[in-house]
Structure formats: structure tokens, C-alpha cells
Structure 1
């Protein structure tokens, strides 16, 4: 049970028009920060383009006990990707980049993979480009703050093949967004970080935010990163890349309020055309939605696109972050934490639940599974498998060659995105072209019957 004895240690701020005076306290309880000297979080709830609640809990610097506030700087990690995507879309709207262009038009030294990788595929994580940060680690660069942007890019450009045929699968990769930042740099003819700082952040007055290029923030009101174990032990974890593209943004909750305001009603950067491009769900080359295999999570342009929310999380060794928006309610949430042990998506869901408004979870699946519905065959099996999917359940019927039927068998989706019933498991292909069936000592791939 959460006890409220520590609530005086938490800074709770609200606008005078606060509709529910108890909301900040419930948000603080949902955060569960045990003391003012533990690493913590800054949370902002935004309504109609204005800040409704600010809740700041824990320490920006554990050694000194300096408190987290709404202007405290955090490393945003992959929340940065939407800023990269918006910068790219500015060039698309200006007619300087086409989403359907071959990436090699802008980066000719990228290997010819035999199948075109488009700019849109990079945005949607469907190009098969290998992860730049993983490549750095494989090359012995384990302290991730030390490699330069040029070294990371060189590692991606050394790859002579993709992880899969471009446009057919989803694979979350920092390498694709590093390539996007390089396209922005070459087309704009200025450093990527300079372009974002000048054309994305400055117009919104995000004066406490910037894209890093080679060095950390030196601001006196910045966080350090930590990992807080379940037993309360805190370890320093202040390592993250010092360049932009897939990450790189330093920001605050108050600055993310300005980001949210522009999406809601400012439209200086999030113009109607850029908004339309940003919130469009991705598609595979066969037209199926870009959905993470089995999990029903659709990826768009630097954003996870849900039936209600769009959002993105971020994670580094000592940081966990999230920005999300619920357009139908004109509502946004920012969650910035300097504790790498926190699950930002789960924590955001708990914060939203604490508002007591019956709002959908930020992490609500984007797909109900119906894209899987159909008849499937494998040439080694004399039977047809029929799938009827509803939400997190697949009903599977087997039609034998002699006309007999078995089933339906109900399989439930687990946290790994596998639909399972006992030893029987089905993992859908990302683009719904088929599925992999696993059972006792046998693994088979089924494709749609013609």
C-alpha cells in the first residue's frame, strides 16, 4: 500500500482553473517516489494547450538533494525521434524531400541492398537498417557517450545488407533515425542539431531545450541519471549518446508543454500539413499497417499511433521518458524520469488512471488483431488453419483435408506478442502475410491461402 507521509516532499503545482484539486496528489502517489533524495520524475498534464497539472517528485542530483522542478533538464532519449520526424516533414512540405525517395538519393554511400529503402521506411522502422547504437557496442565502443555522430553513421554505412527485405517487417532501430538526421543535414546544408534548434525548438520558445552535438548540458538545473533498485539502492547511470537523430534532445516538462500547445492550437511548427503527415500510421509494402508483431502496436513517424493516443517513450541507462497526446480530449502528458528502472509506458498509464476520468490507457493496442483474419496453409501440413481474431484473442479452427474440423481453440496474446494456449503458440508476421506456429518440437510458417 502506498503511504502518503512523503507527499510534503513532492512539489505539486496546478493552474487556478484546476478542476480536480485532488489530482496532483493522486499523480504523486502513482509516481511512487519514496523520498525527496531519490531519483524521480517530472510530470505535466496539458489540457486545451495549457498546463493543467505539474507534479515534480524526487532529486535531480541525489548527492546534493537538489530537487526536480518543471524547468529541470532531462535527457529525452527516444522521445527525440518525433522532433527528428517533424524536422524531416518540414523539408517534405517545402518540397525538398519526398517520402517515397530512395534514401541513396540523399546518402549515396549507403549500400545498394537490392531493394530500395525509402525515406518513409526509415520513419516507420521498416527499412531493415541495423541499430547504430548496437553496432557501436559490437565494435567495442561500450561507453556510449564517447563515440561521435560521425562514428555512429560510419558504422551504419558499413553494413552491406539489411536485417530483412525492406518494407516487409517492423524492427525498432536507432540507425534509421540517424540516417534521417543525415538527410536533414545534407538537404538543409547545416548541422542537424543546428537545424532542429533553429527551426523546431526556437519558434516554440523551447529555450530550455536543445539537440546535443558532442557535449552534455552544463546547466545548473539539469538531472543526473540513476538506477534505483527495489531495495532502495541507487547507482549512477549517466551514460547516453551526445548527438541527435534517434535521441539527443535535452528538454524540460515546461518546454514539452510548449510542444503540446503547438500541436493543440499554436501550429507554428505543427502546421496542419505536418500534423497530417506526423499522425499517419505507417504501411508495409503490401499495404498492411505497420504493427509490431503480435502486440497490436502501430508505428508511424516517430510516434506510436493508437486508437486514441499517439505517443513515444524514451529510455537510456539512467533515464525513462514519455510524451503522449489524446487528440479527442485535447490532452497531453509528459513524463520525464531520471531513474532507469522505471517503465515509462506503465507509469504513464498509472498517472492517467490516477486522474479518475476513465481515460483509455496510453499503451492501448493500436490493432484489434482483425488483420490476421483469414485462411492459412503450410505445404507440409494437410490441413487449413482458419483464424478469427478479436482484440487479444485468436480463435483457431483446423480444417482437415477430409473435411473434418477441430476447434476453435482460443489463444490469448501474452506480453511478448505471442498468442498462446498451453504449448501451442502463434506469432503473427508483422505485415499480416502469415504466422509462425510453434508446438511440441515443431515450428512451421503458414501463409495466406489463395
Structure 2
């Protein structure tokens, strides 16, 4: 819980962020380069983006490209309202931090204190776990995708989300063990804010965040049928073929903030002037933490704190339906960038980095030691001893090592031996380390993937597993299976010489064997389980942010 300080929230509305009336800090050449970056969205018959850039919290550029409504050819302006996707998460987290600062909850409270509907797991999930995506909770959208109803196909509500999460008997991983992004965390966080404050999330954030910062165009899409004047419609597709893709659902906290680029810069400026919440609140927003396996080291309270071109960046991106968003602050350089788009093909990360590269001071990448693409010689018996099938015990993700031309390949990609037990990809970003304590037999693997700056790594463990069973065993897998967790029934059926996963009414996914009792489809990993009698009794299905969802075989 916070110390006894109360939030230092100003009592009067702030004026709009000033637009520089003096010599602009962006040159004509810089502005021209930014316009070129968004040129594909400059026509009146395509969706587009709005952009705002500030320096030392003074707006130095506001732009709009493309159409807010293709049916009525309404142009996008900096005042156009968009949905901010997961940029919204920082506002939900901020609401929880304000309540903690007011002494109404502790970030270390068990979430079941406020949401008793949730199951009891092996260890308590705290509010802090929700904020940092280390709870282990499955992403409810991924679970419903398994059930055949992905987001966008049904009108989901917060009540649906709670019901889905409450029937998950297992977690993706032990509480606190890993970082894995899950929207469920922030939907539940919004529910906690509402139950503790006695107000809706919209009411609480309006009073505590939006009004004090004069964010007059910001609200929540907690009723998708509500009319929002000035809102851009969202689209998917590209070129001359665009289709309406709006978020027709009433879930929020994870996303659903309706706002403008100008309002986002007002919010972003609070990281500097600290008028809402004070210094303690702003520090808590940016406090990162690691899971036990070291992952998630850049994630704070709905914000990433990382490096870009050698300078600190505090940011989050977002995507909901056809909306795309990015909000970033570069405190060392004094710049901030807010980007909102209604074109589903827009890449907000690439666009933000493009803008940042133009407005930030010139950057020269440090000289790196060349990656060793030759390595040391490893005896052929040693290489052959390492080859085989492996899988991650948490995600069921496969890894196959083979020897070809005297080289070890991981899923078809060449590895370079740094030592007989340590290999790297030719780029140097992926490291494969074998457990030297088990020489003479295939051992477990630690696979580490470095970030773009080679600054830190996410590490996964892979364990040896037998090769896929032959076609003669396929009859073991055929049958009907039901999942209480996904509330779904599927069938495994013959598909020519192979197998397919069939779900009503007409979804049929070919199954590719990847290791013993393990298969993959275009979307999922499946691992069949066997009872004491050796017969198949079900399978565990992993779909990205929902791992090992249980399906039991019908009698």
C-alpha cells in the first residue's frame, strides 16, 4: 500500500496544452518527412491516423491524414476521437494506484478479497500481479477463440469476462513465475476499481483523472451502442478494399478508452508535472518488476519502460478491432508522441518509431562486436546426441533439433556453437544452452531471446520428448472431447491419412504431429494425455495467451 500521502490532485481544470507560438522546434524538413511517413493514408477515400508531438509538453505538431468515415468522407483531424486499444491499460492501472494512495486497497491484496467469484489457486493472486501481467490468468479472449467465438463474433460484457475467468481451473503458470500479457488482468482490475470505489470506472476516472487534466474528449466505450460525436469508424482491409471493423462489445479496462491525440498528450504530460497523484503516484506508474523467471522486466503499471535509440522511452501500444494506437514519452529528450489510427493495417509501433527517429536528436548506433557466424567445432557424436524433439512444458511449444551438413539446426534455422553446450543463432539474438549436468544424454534446454538492443532476454525451458507416434496410433486420438473451461465440444476425426480437429458448425483444422502425443494446427498446440491404462483420456490445448485448456474425452 502507498504511504500515508494523499493524492495531490489539483482542484481546477488545466488549460489546453499550449501550441508553440515561437520558433517551432520541428523544421520544415522534419515535418515533410513525417508527412511522407503517413502518405499512404493521405487520400480522402482511405482510413488514416491522427498524430500529435510535443516537446517539453508544448505541442509542436498536430496532423490528421485520411478519412474518419468512408461512407461520408469525413476527414480525420487532431480532434477526431478514436479508441486507444491497450493504451487504455495505463488509465485502469492509474485508477487502482489512486485507490491505493487513498488507502482503500493495497496492491498486495489477494484479488479474491474483491472478486470472491474467482477460484482458489495454489498461491494468492494479488492486484500487483494483475497490473504487471504475472498472475498466470488465461486471456479470456483466447479461451473463447478456442470455443469458436473469438472477440468480434459476440457482444461480450464484463459479466461474461468474469464468468469465463471464474471457470478456469488452472493457470497458464504458477502465480508470479512468468510475465505473459493477458487482457483478463485489466478487465478484473477495472472490476476491482468499481467494487472498491462504488463508482463505475468511467465515473471514477472522469473525476480523478480526466477532469483534473482537462481531458474533455476522453471517455470509456462501456456501451458500444452509445453515440459518440466526432468518433472515427474503424476499418480492416487495405488498398481500395476496406470493411467496417468496430469493437461491438461492452468490456473495458483492458481497452475501450475513447480519446484524442491531444488528450493523450495532456495525460502523458502528467508524468512530468505530476499534478494528478503527485510524485509518488507517478513513480509507481513507472515502477517495473520481474517475474521469477526474469521476464517482464520492462512492464510497469500499464506502461513499458524501455530504451529506444539509446534513450529512455515510456510507452504502450494498442489495437482493438480496426483501431490502432501508440503513446510514448521520451523524458531524456523532452518529446512525447501520441498516435491514433482507424486503419487496421497501420503498424503503430513502426509509425511511432518512424516519427521518433525524425524528432529525436540524431542517433548513432554503438559499434557491436561482430556476431560469430563460424563458432567452434563440435564433434559429430555430440551434435547427434543433441538432436531430437523437445517441448516447452508450459506452452507445449515444440522445438526440433536436427543435424544437417555438420550443423545443428533449430526448427530449420542454423545454430552456431560457441561451446559444445552453448549455441546461438546467426544473428546472436537467440541462445540455446544445454544442461551440462546431463552430458551423455539429451538434456533440457534453456532458450534465451535477447531484445533488439541485446540488453536482456526472455528465457524458456525445453525438455526432451519422444518423436511423434506413427499413423498406426491415430485411432487412439479419434473421438469427441468436451472442455468445461472453454464450454466447448470438439471432435478429432480422420482427414485423409492424417487427423483434423473439427468444431461445429464447419471449422476443420488439420493436425500436424510435432512430438509424441503432440500436434499443432494453424492456431493451436495440442498434447493428448493418457490415463493409468495407457489410453487417451483427453488433451491440453494451448492458444497463445491461454495455455493447457483441458478437454476430456467422451465415454
- TM band (smaller chain): 0.7 to 0.9
1:222 partnered with 2:231: yes
Secondary structure of 1:84's match? helix
Cα-to-partner distance string for 1:230-286 (whole Å, 9 max, x where unaligned): x43222212253332101100001111211222222x22252111111111122246
The answer (yes or no) to whether the contact 1:284–1:431 under 8 Å persists in 2 is: no
Alignment of 1:18-417 (within 5 A): 18-22=24-28, 23-32=30-39, 33-139=41-147, 141-142=149-150, 143=152, 146-229=155-238, 231-265=239-273, 267-285=274-292, 288=294, 290-291=296-297, 298-307=298-307, 308-355=312-359, 357-358=361-362, 397-398=418-419, 406=420, 409-412=423-426
- Taking structure 1 as the reference length, the TM-score comes to 0.76
In 1, the alpha carbon distance for the partners of 2:138 and 2:446 equals: 26
In 2, the alpha carbon distance for the partners of 1:120 and 1:105 equals: 14
Secondary structure of 1:55's match? strand
In 2, the alpha carbon distance for the partners of 1:438 and 1:28 equals: 52
Larger Rg: 2
In 2, the alpha carbon distance for the partners of 1:196 and 1:83 equals: 8
Question: Residues 301, 35 of structure 1: CA spacing in aligned structure 2 closer, same or farther, 3 A cutoff?
Answer: same
RMSD, aligned α-carbons? 3.2
In 2, the alpha carbon distance for the partners of 1:29 and 1:15 equals: 25
The answer (yes or no) to whether the contact 1:26–1:355 under 8 Å persists in 2 is: no
In 2, the alpha carbon distance for the partners of 1:360 and 1:102 equals: 47
Which runs of no fewer than 5 residues in structure 2 stay unpaired? 1-18, 366-384, 387-414, 434-444, 450-455, 468-513, 516-555
Secondary structure of 1:313's match? strand
In 1, the alpha carbon distance for the partners of 2:85 and 2:143 equals: 18
Task: Give the deviation of 1:140 after TM superposition.
Answer: 5.4
The answer (yes or no) to whether the contact 1:427–1:437 under 8 Å persists in 2 is: no
The answer (yes or no) to whether the contact 2:333–2:360 under 8 Å persists in 1 is: no
In 1, the alpha carbon distance for the partners of 2:464 and 2:53 equals: 44
Secondary structure of 1:328's match? coil
Cα-to-partner distance string for 1:113-144 (whole Å, 9 max, x where unaligned): 11221111111111111112233444555535
Secondary structure of 1:325's match? strand
In 1, the alpha carbon distance for the partners of 2:363 and 2:291 equals: 30
Question: Residues 164, 360 of structure 1: CA spacing in aligned structure 2 closer, same or farther, 3 A cutoff?
Answer: farther
99-108 vs 274-283, which moves further: 99-108
Cα-to-partner distance string for 1:383-416 (whole Å, 9 max, x where unaligned): xxxxxxxxxxx98644xxxxxxx487442569xx
Question: Residues 434, 236 of structure 1: CA spacing in aligned structure 2 closer, same or farther, 3 A cutoff?
Answer: closer
Task: Give the deviation of 1:151 after TM superposition.
Answer: 1.6
Question: Residues 217, 60 of structure 1: CA spacing in aligned structure 2 closer, same or farther, 3 A cutoff?
Answer: farther
In 2, the alpha carbon distance for the partners of 1:408 and 1:178 equals: 41
1:428 partnered with 2:454: no
Question: Residues 245, 426 of structure 1: CA spacing in aligned structure 2 closer, same or farther, 3 A cutoff?
Answer: same
The answer (yes or no) to whether the contact 1:290–1:431 under 8 Å persists in 2 is: no
In 2, the alpha carbon distance for the partners of 1:29 and 1:217 equals: 36
The answer (yes or no) to whether the contact 2:187–2:251 under 8 Å persists in 1 is: no
The answer (yes or no) to whether the contact 1:40–1:337 under 8 Å persists in 2 is: yes
The answer (yes or no) to whether the contact 1:110–1:157 under 8 Å persists in 2 is: yes
Secondary structure of 1:282's match? coil
Task: Give the deviation of 1:34 after TM superposition.
Answer: 4.5
In 2, the alpha carbon distance for the partners of 1:439 and 1:36 equals: 56
Secondary structure of 2:212's match? helix
In 2, the alpha carbon distance for the partners of 1:411 and 1:440 equals: 25
Which runs of no fewer than 5 residues in structure 1 stay unpaired? 1-12, 292-297, 362-379, 382-393, 399-405, 444-450
Secondary structure of 1:309's match? strand
The answer (yes or no) to whether the contact 1:14–1:54 under 8 Å persists in 2 is: no
Aligned residues: 380
Task: Give the deviation of 1:356 after TM superposition.
Answer: 6.3
In 2, the alpha carbon distance for the partners of 1:130 and 1:87 equals: 23
